[in-house]
Amino acid sequence: MLQRKKNAVLVDGVFLNGPIADARAGEKFVEDACKIIMEEVIQKAADVTEKVCEWQPPEKLKKLLDLEMRDTGEPHQQLLQLCQDVIRYSVKTNHPRFFNQLYAGIDYYSLVARFITEALNPSVYTYEVSPVFLLVEEAVLKKMIEFIGWNEGDGIFNPGGSVSNMYAMNLARYKYCPEIKEKGLSGLPRLVLFTSEECHYSMKKAASFLGIGTQNVYFIKTDERGKMIPEELEKQVQRARKEGAAPFLVSATAGTTVLGAFDPLDKIADICEKYGLWLHVDASWGGSALMSRKHRKLLHGIHRADSVAWNPHKMLMAGIQCCALLVKNNSDLLKKCYSANASYLFQQDKFYDVSYDTGDKSIQCSRRPDAFKFWMTWKALGTTGLEERENRALALARLHL
């Protein structure tokens, strides 16, 4: 596996120009492993006679898999066998009979996009490091903003809808009291947010993580279909104000996790405007209905939201993970809220337009080019193809009701 170069330079007992990894052996491993992926994953993706999963209990699976990491590396064939074992005992999420809560299936174009990004291993924070993927993200966000119905906006791709919801909660709090970024929580009033009883559990986690506290998440009653009742929302807003608390955010849901309910966004937006509250819409699941002329009415009023979470990796099959937070405010609110102005990374005297260095809008430093897989699928299918995919998903759901 290793070879030593002639005239090697030795420093602190280490050969700086040798030993080196055997590139030919590495390339051969990639080639052979790709054949296994093609044969065992991709070509079997639509074969209904194959198992969704060769299920084994945890203790037995530990024995079947060679999980131990050793002092010395293992040979080529043994590594390939490990690849086959991993595939054999994993859940085939692309199988026609894999019925997960919110995602399934295979999109070949998104898959190739993931192969490309894994091979290139980029990090999306500055244009000089990731020029193509930053431009792709900008183009995808712009198009998603158009489908929401905003004339302009901002956004960023995040590692999951839960993170997008947390971003939105923190952004709403920053908008309410910008001094929190430097002064912290001390001296602030008791902040209260409102969301549906059927909301995603990430809202409680975000409130806990951000120091707002889960007791300050007021859960609003829903009707028999799981939709937030606007009248109950207004009652709870008034209650919080009487208690001396400071309401700052309403998080509506477009496509609840269990019932698939769409909150009445227009009526909720009326209440938010009346009381000066930030309106966030968690459309992680249901946002893709915006692509359908037939079903976008489910999200009527979403254009009035201040922020939207939307996960193309769900109904649009862009591949996990592919999650965007879209923000109506186009005055660099994201950057103002999250920037740390790291001078070693975000220099202002570069040889190109530094507005393309978007990494300071994120709480992350290293960030994956998740927009690229959605872009590749969109390029392959077009808006019409994505609309057909959405319509088919909802037609299948209606068939099985």
Q: At 257, which CATH number?
A: 3.40.640.10
Read off φ and ψ for residue 253, nearest 5 degrees: -125, 130
Give a yes or no: residue 101 inside a domain. Answer: no
Together in a domain, 247 and 377 = yes
From 58, 91, 124, give the residue that closes a domain.
91
pLDDT at 399: 82
Cα 136 from Cα 138, distance rounded (Å) = 5
What percent of the chain has pLDDT above 90?
83
Rounded to the nearest integer, the mean pLDDT of the chain is 93
3-state secondary structure labels for all residues of the chain = CEECCCCCCEECCEECCCCEECHHHHHHHHHHHHHHHHHHHHCCCCCCCCCCCCCCCHHHHHHHCCCCCCCCCCCHHHHHHHHHHHHHHCCCCCCCCCCCCCCCCCCHHHHHHHHHHHHHCCCCCCCCCCHHHHHHHHHHHHHHHHHHCCCCCEEEEECCHHHHHHHHHHHHHHHHCCCHHHHCCCCCCCEEEEEECCCCCHHHHHHHHCCCCHHHEEEECECCCCCECHHHHHHHHHHHHHCCCEEEEEEEEECCCCCCCECCHHHHHHHHHHHCCEEEEEECCHHHHHHCCCCHHHHCCHHHCCEEEECCCCCCCCCCCCEEEEECCCCCHHHHHHCCCCCCCCCCCCCCCHHHCHHHHCCCCCCCCCHHHHHHHHHHHHHHHHHHHHHHHHHHHHHCC
Q: Give 13 or 47, the one with higher predicted confidence.
A: 47
Cα 315 from Cα 390, distance rounded (Å) = 7
Give a yes or no: residue 17 inside a domain. Answer: no
Give a yes or no: residue 360 inside a domain. Answer: yes
Together in a domain, 131 and 257 = yes
Q: pLDDT tens digits for 181-229?
A: 999 998 889 999 999 999 999 999 999 999 999 999 999 999 999 999 9
Together in a domain, 58 and 148 = no
Together in a domain, 204 and 310 = yes
Which whole number is the average pLDDT over 391-397? 89
pLDDT at 20: 65
Together in a domain, 152 and 121 = yes
Q: Give 61 or 97, the one with higher predicted confidence.
A: 61
Together in a domain, 216 and 357 = yes
Q: How confident is the model at residue 2 (pLDDT cuts 50, 70, 90)?
A: very low
From 91, 126, 143, give the residue that closes a domain.
91
Q: pLDDT tens digits for 280-324?
A: 999 999 999 999 999 999 999 999 999 999 999 999 999 999 999
Together in a domain, 235 and 359 = yes
The yes-or-no verdict on residue 58 having pLDDT over 50 is yes
Give a yes or no: residue 2 inside a domain. Answer: no
Give a yes or no: residue 7 inside a domain. Answer: no
Beta bridge partners of 307: 280, 327
Together in a domain, 160 and 233 = yes
Domain holding 334, by residue range, is 113-344+352-400
Together in a domain, 81 and 154 = no
Which whole number is the average pLDDT over 334-359? 91
pLDDT at 1: 38
Q: pLDDT tens digits for 82-100?
A: 999 999 999 999 998 898 7
* Dihedral sign from CA coordinates of 389, 391, 397, 399: negative
Together in a domain, 326 and 206 = yes
Q: How confident is the model at residue 388 (pLDDT cuts 50, 70, 90)?
A: very high
Together in a domain, 185 and 83 = no
Q: How confident is the model at residue 19 (pLDDT cuts 50, 70, 90)?
A: low
Q: Which residues contact 279 (CB under 8 A, 6 or more apart)?
A: 250, 252, 268, 269, 272, 304, 305, 306, 307
Together in a domain, 157 and 296 = yes
Count up the domains in the chain and report the number.
Answer: 2
Give a yes or no: residue 289 inside a domain. Answer: yes
Give a yes or no: residue 161 inside a domain. Answer: yes
Give a yes or no: residue 322 inside a domain. Answer: yes
The yes-or-no verdict on residue 11 having pLDDT over 90 is no
Q: pLDDT tens digits for 366-378?
A: 999 999 999 999 9
Residue 14: Cβ within 10 Å count: 10
pLDDT at 274: 98
pLDDT at 377: 97
Mean pLDDT lowest for which of 19-28, 58-67, 322-331? 19-28
Q: What is the pTM of this model?
A: 0.93
Structure-block tokens of residue 153: 């906006």
